[in-house]
Amino acid sequence: MIDFPEIVYPLLAGFVLDLLIGDPHWLPHPVRWFGWLISKGEAQLNKGDGRRWKGAFLTLVLVLFVFFVLWLGLKLLPEKSVVFYVITSVFVFYGLANRSLIYESLLVIRRLKSEGIKAGRKQLSMIVGRDTRNLDEQQIRTAVLETLAENLSDGVIAPLFYYALGGIPGMLAYKMVNTLDSMIGYKSERYRDFGFFAAHLDDVLNFVPARLTAFLMVLVTFSRRGFQYLFRFGRQHSSPNAGYPEAALAGILNARFGGPNMYHGKWVNKPFIGENPRKLTDSDIYKTCRINFAVAAVFVLVICIFYVSIFRIL
Rounded CA gap, 20 and 37, in Å? 29
Confidence of residue 169 (pLDDT cuts 50, 70, 90): very high
Q: What is the pLDDT of residue 266?
A: 64
Q: 273 forms bridges with which residues in the sheet?
A: 257
DSSP-derived secondary structure letter, 294: H
Q: What is the pLDDT of residue 132?
A: 87
Q: What is the pLDDT of residue 268?
A: 67
Q: 148 forms bridges with which residues in the sheet?
A: none
Rounded CA gap, 159 and 92, in Å? 9
Q: Where are the alpha helices (DSSP H) in the chain?
A: 4-21, 30-45, 51-75, 82-95, 98-115, 117-124, 137-152, 158-184, 196-205, 207-221, 224-233, 243-253, 282-313
Average pLDDT of the chain?
93
Are the CB atoms for 19 and 98 separated by under 8 Å?
yes
Better-scored residue on pLDDT, 241 or 268: 241
Rounded CA gap, 79 and 121, in Å? 49
Residues 6+ apart with CB under 8 A from 168: 10, 70, 74, 88, 91, 92, 95
Cα dihedral 101/106/111/116 (nearest 10) = 110
pLDDT tens readout for residues 248-275: 999 999 999 987 666 656 666 778 999 9
Helix (H) or strand (E) holding 277: none
Q: What is the pLDDT of residue 254?
A: 97
Q: What is the pLDDT of residue 264?
A: 56
pLDDT tens readout for residues 64-106: 999 999 999 999 999 889 999 999 999 999 999 999 999 999 9
Mean pLDDT check: name the lowest of 24-28, 75-79, 207-211.
Answer: 24-28
Percent of the chain residues topping a pLDDT of 70: 96
pLDDT tens readout for residues 120-147: 999 999 998 788 888 899 999 999 999 9
Q: What is the pLDDT of residue 282?
A: 94
